[in-house]
Structure 1
Amino acid sequence: MEGKLITHSILQCKHMFKLDPDKTISDAALKQLCLSGTDGIIVGGSSGVTFDNTASLLTRIRQYASLPCALEISNRDAVVPTFDYFFIPMVLNTTQIEWLIGQQLEAIKDYGQYIDWNTVIPEGYIILNEQSTAAQLTGALTDLSEHEILAYVTLIDQMMKLPICYIEYSGTYGDMTLLQRIAAQISHSKLFYGGGINSSEKANQARQFADTIVVGNVIYEDLQAALATVQ
């Protein structure tokens, strides 16, 4: 995975926690996450995300650490301008064009003149868990062959040259053999992996191939297991 372009410091993160504004987390738990040694925080969710709960969560994070924070935008009405970075997901395997370019185009029409493009990082998303809220919301085609998945990866990496290729299993631990093959094929994009990382062992497995692992659901299920993934 040599020779990748790094244009934003957040793309150098090896481990990131993903926090959902629509889920409850105590101040004590949030402090432990922020001081755990993780490289950065992503804030985002597939439903129930509002301006108020997003702004509130960012304010709480800032109390405990100066970690780089990215807002992964799923609702353009919930954009809080004080994040360090803004991840813009483009779901490649969606059946609904609004989740590929539609939502993004509307955001540019409404807010384009105010956007600091130096903070905007597009993500090429491939969602592979059909049971996830993200897959159902975007109408993602998840029953894909390895050949089809690798074709999407090539589209992200070589044709679109997006900074991030995000393999999203969302709550389910993915196929590490497939992740290895994806990693071997990528030469431009940074490879992000998220889904089912709920132990240090799984974190280590995924980190063999992904540039960045994203740990989310386990935060709300088993905080100590989430903290263990940092090591």
Structure 2
Amino acid sequence: MINMEEWRHVFKLDPDKEISDEHLDKICESGTDAIIVGGTSGVSFDNTIDLLARVRRYLIPCILEVSNVQAVVPGFDYYLVPIVLNAEKSEWIFQRHVEGLMEYGSLVKWNEVATEGYIILNPEAEAARLTGAKTSLDTEEIKAYGRLADQMLKLPIVYLEYSGAYGDPEIVRQLKSVLHQARLFYGGGIRSADQAQEMSNWADTVVVGNVIYEDIGQALKTVAAVKGS
């Protein structure tokens, strides 16, 4: 049974990026709370199922973040479905979801699915360009998106995404202050234990991704930094 309320730290692995068996072993045995598999581009059924099979050798919960309906693979412990709240390309808010449900809706096990309300704030991020995200938001706008996700849509997760850039801890704090029930995920630009610990002061769950492929030693240090805070 997946309990996201217990997640403080998770690693995100991209199926389109190479990771050695040695480094994967260190990630899966690091003490992190879960592994999320997901990426913006280059994600296919084949590379997703291959990564799932490799992670399945470990006891760690393995979750698929669905960004491409054609790459949905059965066998994950749980599935996260993002809605990009500040997307200016409307298909990334609901249209893609409706298309997927028209084809596969009858097969979905809804007790294994949670929806994430994404707020993307790095204009250089691939996800921002893909979705046309309006990233030039002031703090009050960001808080309004948080309230939309939390109180109006009742989403279980609000995901503040900087994707490759380190965000502003004060924005994370301000966003957290308006959330009543949603869990706040933070992801983006964490490349050291200090950064991970700083974001964990406000985010419920810290997501660490790119540094896995840049500096495995620094990636591993983020686990204790977050879970010890």
Which of 62, 66, 80 aligns to 2:56? It is 62
Match of 1:23 in 2: 17
SS in 1 for 2:39: coil
In the alignment of these two chains, the number of paired residues is 224
Q: Is 1:211–2:204 an aligned residue pair?
A: yes
Query: Is the contact between residue 10 and residue 40 of structure 1 (CA under 8 Å) also seen in structure 2?
Result: no
1:168-227: per-residue Cα shift (whole Å, max 9, x none)? 000111000111111111111000000111111111111110110000000010000000
Question: Within the alignment, does 1:142 sit opposite 2:128 as a pair?
Answer: no
Superposed, 1:97-112 pairs within 5 Å as: 97-112=90-105
Alignment of 1:140-219 (within 5 A): 140-219=133-212
Report the 3-state secondary structure (helix = DSSP H, G, I; strand = E; otherwise coil) of the residue aligned with 1:229: helix
Aligned to 1:141, the other structure's residue is in SS state coil
Q: Give the structure-1-normalised TM-score.
A: 0.95
- Runs (5+) with no aligned partner, structure 1: 1-6
Alignment of structure 1 residues 32-43 onto 2, 5 Å: 32-43=26-37
Alignment match, 1:89: 82
4+ residue runs of structure 1 moved beyond 4 angstroms?
Answer: none
Structure 2 vs 1, CA of residues 29 and 82 (structure 1 numbering), >3 Å: closer, same or farther? same
What letter matches 1:122 in structure 2? T
Map 1:3-14 → 2, pairs under 5 A:
8-14=2-8
Q: Alignment RMSD, CA only?
A: 1.0
Give aligned-pair identity as a percent.
Answer: 53
The TM-score, its normalising length taken from structure 2, stands at: 0.96
Aligned equivalent of 1:52: 46
Counterparts of 1:28 and 1:179, CA distance in 2: 34
Q: Is the 8 A contact 1:46 1:134 kept in 2?
A: yes
What letter corresponds to residue 184 of structure 1 in structure 2?
A: S
Unaligned runs of 5+ in 2: 225-229
